[in-house]
Amino acid sequence: MKITRRGLTLGGAGLATASGLGLSAPALAQSEPIRIGWLAALTGPSSAPAIGFDRGIRHATDAINAAGGIGGRQIELVVRDTQGDPTKAVNAAQEMISRARVHAIWGPTNSGESLATTPIIGRAKMPNLHPCFVDTLIDPARYPNAFRMAPSNSQIDDAVSDYGVNILKLKKFAVVGDTTGYGTTTVNSSSAAFAKRNAEVVYRGQIDATQPDLTPDMLRMRNAGAEAITIWTVSPGLISRIMNVRATMGWDVPLIGHPAMGSGEVGQLIAKPQNWEKTYILGFKNCSYGPDGKLPGHVQTFVDSIQGKINLDDSTLWWIVCGVDAINVIASAVRESGGTDPLKMIDFWNKQNPYPGLYASYTWTPQQHNGLPQSDLVMSEANSQRQGAYKLAPGYV
C-alpha cells in the first residue's frame, strides 16, 4: 500500500478529531443539562391537574437551578402540551425520547394518555414517574421503568369504603357513577371494595350527567335502605343535583367519594351552602388541615414559603406539591446515582423506603412501584377548601 502525503495528512487530521471527540465526551456529559420531559395536558377540558402540577414543577426546577443545579448541571424542562389527547401524548413521548433525548419523563397526568404512552416509554427503558390512577399502568415486570406517585384506583376504593364502613360505621351503601367508562368501572370496583368489608351495596347504578332531575334515582336509593351514597363522577352538574335533591328530600345521608365533589364549580351550582355539608371526599394526609387548622409541619412550611409566588386558590395543593416532589425525586436519582444513566436512576428509585416528599412518603421496591402508602389516603370535608387543601373529615384523630 502506497502512503501519500495527502493521505497521511487527512488520516492524521481524522485521528486528531476522533481523539478530541473521545476525550471531550465525558466532559460534555458532565456539563450538559439534565433534560426532564414533561407530558402535560396544559390546554383542553382536562387541563386543570396539569396546570397545578406545572406550578410545582417549575417552582422546584427554578429552586434547584438557582442553587447551582445538580453537580453543576442545570435542569432543563422539555414540555409538550398533549391537550389530553392520547395520540398527541404518544407523538410527544416519541419525540422526547428520540429527538429531545430527555433523561427522564414526568407524566402524562391522566390515565387515558398514560395507557397509550406507558408501553412506548417502557420500550425505551426511560425512567418514568406519573400520577395516574389506573391500576394496570403499574406492573414492574412489564414496565420496570414506570413508578406511580399517586394512589391507584384500588387504593382509592379501599380508602373510601374503609371510611364508610370502619369510621362512619355504616353497613348499607348506594354506589353511583356517571355513564362514562370511568363511572361504570369505578362503580364496579367500589362495590367490590365495600363487599370485601362485609358491607351491603343496596343500590348501584349509572346516571347520565345531563339528567335534569335526580329525585327518582334518589328515592330508589332511599327506598333500598342506603345509609350513605358513594359517588364516582367528575361532573359538577351531576354532583350538585344530587346534593340539591338530598336537601329537598330532607334526607340526612352522607355523600362520600370522588374529590370532584369538593370543586369550586359544585359550590356555584348548589342551591344553598348547607347542601354541601356532610360530604366527604378522598384526600391526602399531607394536604389536609388537622383539627388545629394547620397542615403537617413540613408542608405548612412549604406553603408559607410560596405565599405570593404560587397561586393556591384556583388549584389543588396536592397537584402542586406532587409536581415539586416529581422534580426532586428525579434530581435525587441523578445526584445519588452519579449521573443520568437510566438503569442506575431506576435502581435508585427501587430502593426508596421511604422517600420523604411533600405530598407523601413514597416507598418503591423492585416488586412494588405504587409509591403512595395506604395510610396517606384520608377523607376530607368537601366544603372546606382553603388554599387548595381541605379539612380532615370527622373520625380522624
User: C-alpha distances in angstroms, 300 versus 166, 304, 397?
Assistant: 29, 6, 19
Binds another protein by CB under 8 A, chosen from 213, 351, 365, 374 = 213
Binding mask 305-334 for another protein (x = CB under 8 A): ------------------------------
Residues 45-84 that bind another protein (CB under 8 A): 45
Q: Which is nearer to another protein, 138 or 382 (CB)?
A: 382
E strands in 108-171: 128-130, 146-148
Binding-site residue total for another protein (CB under 8 A)?
29
Q: In the range 147-186, which residues lie near another protein by CB under 8 A?
A: 176, 179
Instruction: Specify the stretch interacting with another protein by CB under 8 A; choose among 112-120, 262-270, 340-348, 379-387.
Output: 262-270
Instruction: Return the range that interacts with another protein (CB under 8 A); candidates 64-72, 149-157, 212-220, 302-310.
Output: 212-220
Q: Is residue 328 within 8 Å of 357, Cβ to Cβ?
A: yes
Closest to another protein by CB, 224 vs 306, is 224
Rounded to 5 degrees, φ, ψ at 25 are -55, -50
Nearest residue (CB) to another protein, 292 versus 313: 313
Report the residue number, 76 or 85, with the smaller CB distance to another protein: 85
Per-residue burial over 100-130, b if 16 or more Cβ lie within 10 Å, else e, is: eebbbbbbbbbbbbbbbbbebbbebebbbbb
- Is residue 211 a contact point for another protein (CB under 8 A)? yes
Q: Report the nearest approach of another protein to the CB of residue 206 (Å).
A: 5
**C-beta separation of 256 from 230 below 8 A:** yes
Contact 264, 367 (CB under 8 A): no
In the set 215, 301, 305, 374, which binds another protein (CB under 8 A)? 215
Residue carrying C-alpha cell 394512589: 151
Enumerate residues 190-209 that contact another protein by CB under 8 A. Answer: 205-209
Residue 201 or 392 with smaller CB distance to another protein: 201
SS3 label, residue 171? coil
Find the shortest distance in angstroms from Cβ 210 to another protein: 5
Which is nearer to another protein, 36 or 207 (by Cβ)?
A: 207
The C-alpha atoms of residue 125 and residue 146 are separated, in whole angstroms, by 9
Assign 3-class secondary structure to 260-328.
Answer: HHHCHHHHHHCCCHHHHCCEEEEEEHHHEECCCCCCCHHHHHHHHHCCCCCCCCCCCHHHHHHHHHHHH
Residues 269 and 243: their CA atoms lie apart, in Å, by 10
Residue with cell 442553587: 67
Q: How far apart are CA 195 and CA 172, in angstroms?
A: 10
Query: How far is residue 164 from each of residues 81, 221, 306, 372, measured CA to CA in Å?
Result: 39, 16, 35, 21
State the nearest-atom distance from the C-beta of 382 to another protein, in Å.
Answer: 16
Whether 74 contacts 327, CB under 8 Å: no
Q: Which residue lies nearer to another protein by CB, 148 or 246?
A: 246
Of positions 7, 14, 216, 394, contacts another protein by CB under 8 A: 216
Q: Which residues from 104-133 bind another protein, rule CB under 8 A?
A: none
Q: How far is the CB of 285 from another protein (least distance, A)?
A: 29
**Window contacting another protein (CB under 8 A); options: 110-118, 155-163, 215-223, 304-312:** 215-223
Which of 144, 129, 125, 143 is CA-nearest to residue 327? 129
- Cβ proximity to another protein, 45 vs 297, nearer residue: 45
The DSSP secondary-structure symbol of 150 reads S
The nearer residue to another protein, 176 or 299, going by C-beta atoms, is: 176
Quote the least distance from Cβ 237 to another protein, whole Å.
4
Which runs of consecutive H residues, i.e. helices, occur in 197-261? 215-223, 236-249
Site string for another protein, 218-257 (x = CB under 8 A): -xx--------------xxx------xx-xxx--------
Of 185 and 206, CB closest to another protein: 206
Contact set with another protein (CB under 8 A): 45, 176, 179, 205-213, 215-217, 219-220, 235-237, 244-245, 247-249, 265, 268-269, 271
